[in-house]
Structure 1
Amino acid sequence: MRILLINVPHPSIGSRIPDDHLPPLGLLAIGGPLIDDGHEVRLVDGELKPMTVADLVAAATDFQPDAVLFGHSGSTSGHPVIAAVAAGIAQALPGAFIVYGGVFPTYHWRDILAAEPHVTAIVRGEGEETARRLMAALHAGAPLADVPGIAFRDATGPRATPPAPMIQNLDAYRVGWELIDHAHYSYWGGLRAVVVQFSRGCPHPCTYCGQRGFWSRWRHRDPVLFAKELARLHREQGVKVINFADENPTSSRKAWRAFLEALIAEDVDLVLVGSTRADDIVRDADILHLYRKAGWVRFLLGLENTDAATLALIQKGGGIDTDREAIRLLRRHSILSMATWVVGFEEETDADHWRGLRRLLAHDPDQIQMLYVTPHRWTPYYQLAAGRRVIESDRRRWDYKHQVLATRHMPAWRTLAWVKFTEAVLQLRPKALRRTYLERDARLRHAMRWYAKIGRRVWPHEILGFLRRPPRDTGTTVADMWGPPQDREEYAMAPSPRRPAEAREPA
């Protein structure tokens, strides 16, 4: 079959403001197994220019594919763009199969299949094996009901097949790196870059997380084979920056240490960036020198909020003292910390924002990323947020960088003012300026200046965007907009996983 993979341009600020673009790992992970099955596969990355809907339809028409596969890491906020492109391609190529995968369609399959008749099938959960089986069935004209892990439409309407088995061996499926020209992708200020996954899933029970149930439970790749792949990308393709897409790559100390030692043995000069939990950093205090030697330059730490009551509400785990200690340990080993802080909880007041700012200053992270709480229908947190009023009905803005929910005690403009004030204080305080412009370590100085450059563009952009199109309370609730909760369907793949705490590997 001729198969076209399409990565649509994402409307989020994070995609449009930076000059760098990263390759679409999810689609490349699907592409590798399909190539190995003998299909002719091509990727069109609409993020690069970015391409318009008409551009993408024209590219698909030129290729004349038998099947068009969509997927996007932006998921919820990317769906309206995918829907428009898919509809255009279906009109131009009525004989092509339209297949859609990712987190959002995994859970919203009923809505999509009911509203978008041109969608042939939806892949639910991780897609490497399911996409192979689905393409084989479509090629042979076999019944789709026999393919586990999909949703499709039959005479009775939208229906889902039984969940696909969770992939146990992540090394059994290769990433289709040959589908991209590595020269087109960069990060960290123009350095050639890729996105990778050492692990999938997270063993922690945070109630707001939209990824936990999608991956079902935490698993990791073979540490040595993974290190060899990164080294090969560096030597053969000139890749310099490795951006980890893992939710929590360090969950197993044993596996993580094995990876660090294997990468050090490869002796390649890489810049590693990604996310982890503060308690894992504290746990690994005695091996953080290996992190640095392997190439780690920055970790994003999901502090989420510095208020103990809020952390308990979302079952974040960890604690304020642990977060502060993790930042201190990273700095001691010349690794930058980026702290995320989520605002927009229903009972927030000015006093809460002021207290949060003071605690962030006490934590002293190198960089800060402010986010707005954004409920997903398939998470336990949705139950708590279902009755809250929506102030942003444009689904393209449900990207964590726009206010979407009203708070009880504060208008939206004041929440924005606190966010912008907090960002300015954290990034313009003397300590941050010294690290940005006077840091002796060239790698850290480059990273701080690059992030400051992006911040100078994003900060006013968000204010102007708010003023041009301020949020508006129409009286609609979250449940009115998105429908009933789906937290009973949170786990997407079979077999039913053990509880997250039990699924965590021993250290």
Structure 2
Amino acid sequence: MRLTLLHPPHTAIGSRVPREHLPPFGLLSIGGPLIDAGHAVQLINADIGPMPDWLILRRVLQSDPQAVLIGHSGSTSVHPTACHLARQIKALRPDVTILYGGVFPSYHWADILRDHPEIDVIVRGEGEATTPLLIRALETGDLAKVPGIAYRRDGQPHATPPAPMIRDLDQHRIGWELIRHADYSYWGGRRAVILQFSRGCPHLCTYCGQRGFWTQWRHRDPARFAAEIARLYREEGVTLINLADENPTSSPKAWEAFLHAMIAENVPVTIIGSTRADDIVRDADILPLYKKAGCLRFLLGLEGTDEATLTTVKKGGSRAKDRQAIQLLRQHGMIGLCTFAVGFEEERDRDYARLLRHLLAYDPDQIMSVFATPHRWTPFHGQSAGRRVIQTDLRLWDYKHQVLETPHVPAWRVFLWVKLIEACLQLRPKALWRTWFHPDPEIRHAMRWYTRMGRRVWIHEFRDAWRHRAKPGQTVAQMWGTDQLPEKLLARLPPKTTNA
């Protein structure tokens, strides 16, 4: 079949501010298997630019597709745009089948199929194995035998049984030939890609849906993964690897094997990603391997600096380990980007003041704020069922906008507290010295790039705070309905922790 992969433009702050773009990894991951199955596949990345509607539609029509596959890592915040484009495509080409995948449609499939007739089929969960089966079924007209999808049967939303979990993450290749690597950069102009060493997370943080969506933590073969990074450097000039994993370091054995494999490949790439402070502390003895393998920055989720909040969100961390991890990264020539979450129900002004004091004591290199967001597939949704939603525009559900009412502090003051905390952290003398005078030019470049991006984010945030003023309305339960946790396991196998 003639297939067009469509990556919609993202209106959220995180996508439009850096003025740089990373490849659409999710669509490339299903693009490779579809090409290998014999289909003619094209990719339209409308996020570059971003493309206006008229240009997107012209590009889609020029590709003359039999099916359009829409997906975006933004998921919730890009959902309105995805449906808007699907309606326009259907209006021009009613014969085209529209397929939709990602985290949001995986859990909201019934609502989407009921409210959006322009969407024909939804892929639920991992798509590499499911999508080629679905395309084959579209040719034969027998969707009922395809696991892991949802469609209309007798006019009503219907979901097939969950698809089996993909155990071997090296089984399906990434369709790199669908992009021109020169079109993508990050980190201040460095040619860049997104990759996954692992999927899932063995932890139970209440605000996160990683464990439910991926079911079980798994990792790629360390040597093959390092070889793919090396090939991308040698053949495509890629020098920046952004790991999309939630916890790539979960298995000490597998992660150390990857570090050794990267060192053996001997390519000058920079690796950035996310992990847990506990894992950095655990790996204190091998942090020199991190640096030698190319690791430069890790995002560490602090998620609140009082032990009561950590217990509520089931983070499993501690202030002592958070502080130690930041210090260890700095001692070994790496950067700690520390996130802090706000927007929990019990917060008061004194809690923000205490948060500022604790963060100053942590002395992080970089800081980033996020707002707790009650996505339907997370335990936090159930915990927040009775709280009022103050932002119903899903395009702003990007963790950079407050969407829940904080009963004891008005939304405008929460926003100002967050900006005050960020300003105090980023403008303190130590942070300024690292930004402008750090002896390591790579760290100096990273700090300056992050500072420039942060200034542009602030402009958008203050503008949005004025344009989209929060108005308390319905509760989370009234907006999203019942908790989705009974069907959070999209694969057949139960989650389990692995230390392989």
Matches within 5 A, 1:334-373: 334-373=333-372
- Which position in structure 1 is the counterpart of 2:236? 237
1:159 aligns with 2:133: no
- Which position in structure 1 is the counterpart of 2:460? 461
Matches within 5 A, 1:85-484: 85-141=85-141, 143-155=142-154, 157-473=156-472, 475-484=473-482
Structure 1 residue 70 displacement after superposition = 0.7
The 3-state SS of whatever aligns with 2:129 is: helix
- Which structure 1 segments of 5+ residues have no match? none
| Match 2:484 to one of 479, 483, 486 | 486
Paired with 1:37 and 1:490, the residues of 2 have a C-alpha distance of 29
Q: Deviations over 1:191-234 (max 9, x none)?
A: 00000000000000111102221100100000000000000000
Q: Percent identity?
A: 59
Q: Deviations over 1:153-178 (max 9, x none)?
A: 01051010000000010101000000
The 3-state SS of whatever aligns with 1:317 is: coil
Aligned-partner residue type, residue 43 of structure 1? L
Check conservation: 1:378, 1:488, Cα contact below 8 A: no
Aligned-partner residue type, residue 403 of structure 1? Q
Check conservation: 1:214, 1:490, Cα contact below 8 A: yes
- Which position in structure 1 is the counterpart of 2:34? 34
Paired with 1:377 and 1:237, the residues of 2 have a C-alpha distance of 39
Structure 1 residue 15 displacement after superposition = 0.8
The 3-state SS of whatever aligns with 1:304 is: coil
Structure 1 residue 467 displacement after superposition = 1.9
Aligned-partner residue type, residue 174 of structure 1? R
Paired with 2:275 and 2:82, the residues of 1 have a C-alpha distance of 30
Check conservation: 1:103, 1:211, Cα contact below 8 A: no
Paired with 1:465 and 1:378, the residues of 2 have a C-alpha distance of 26
Q: What TM-score do the two structures reach when normalised by structure 2?
A: 0.99
Paired with 1:382 and 1:118, the residues of 2 have a C-alpha distance of 28
Paired with 1:139 and 1:153, the residues of 2 have a C-alpha distance of 17
- Which position in structure 2 is the counterpart of 1:77? 77
Alpha-carbon distance change, 118 to 464 in structure 1, aligned in 2, over 3 angstroms: closer
The 3-state SS of whatever aligns with 2:191 is: strand
Aligned-partner residue type, residue 243 of structure 1? N
Q: Deviations over 1:337-386 (max 9, x none)?
A: 00010001112111000101111111111000101110111211111101
Paired with 1:376 and 1:489, the residues of 2 have a C-alpha distance of 14
Paired with 1:54 and 1:216, the residues of 2 have a C-alpha distance of 39
Aligned-partner residue type, residue 426 of structure 1? L
The 3-state SS of whatever aligns with 1:460 is: helix
Paired with 2:423 and 2:308, the residues of 1 have a C-alpha distance of 25
Check conservation: 2:83, 2:118, Cα contact below 8 A: no
Paired with 2:488 and 2:362, the residues of 1 have a C-alpha distance of 33
Paired with 1:354 and 1:19, the residues of 2 have a C-alpha distance of 33
Structure 1 residue 458 displacement after superposition = 1.3
Check conservation: 1:163, 1:493, Cα contact below 8 A: yes
Q: What TM-score do the two structures reach when normalised by structure 1?
A: 0.97
- Which position in structure 1 is the counterpart of 2:54? 54
Paired with 2:431 and 2:491, the residues of 1 have a C-alpha distance of 44
The 3-state SS of whatever aligns with 1:410 is: coil
Paired with 1:104 and 1:335, the residues of 2 have a C-alpha distance of 34
Q: Deviations over 1:362-411 (max 9, x none)?
A: 11110001011101112111111011011111111111000111111111
1:504 aligns with 2:498: yes
Paired with 1:159 and 1:48, the residues of 2 have a C-alpha distance of 35
Paired with 1:482 and 1:59, the residues of 2 have a C-alpha distance of 34
Comparing 456-465 and 388-397, the one that deviates more: 456-465
Q: Deviations over 1:476-507 (max 9, x none)?
A: 11111111111111111112x14x4xx2225x
Paired with 1:108 and 1:10, the residues of 2 have a C-alpha distance of 19
Moved over 3 A (4+): none
Structure 1 residue 464 displacement after superposition = 2.5
Q: Deviations over 1:282-334 (max 9, x none)?
A: 11000000000011110000111112111111101011101111111100101
Paired with 2:221 and 2:49, the residues of 1 have a C-alpha distance of 36
- Which structure 2 segments of 5+ residues have no match? none
Paired with 2:217 and 2:207, the residues of 1 have a C-alpha distance of 17
Paired with 1:119 and 1:461, the residues of 2 have a C-alpha distance of 32
Check conservation: 2:83, 2:119, Cα contact below 8 A: no
The 3-state SS of whatever aligns with 2:223 is: helix
Paired with 2:186 and 2:352, the residues of 1 have a C-alpha distance of 32
Paired with 1:280 and 1:325, the residues of 2 have a C-alpha distance of 11
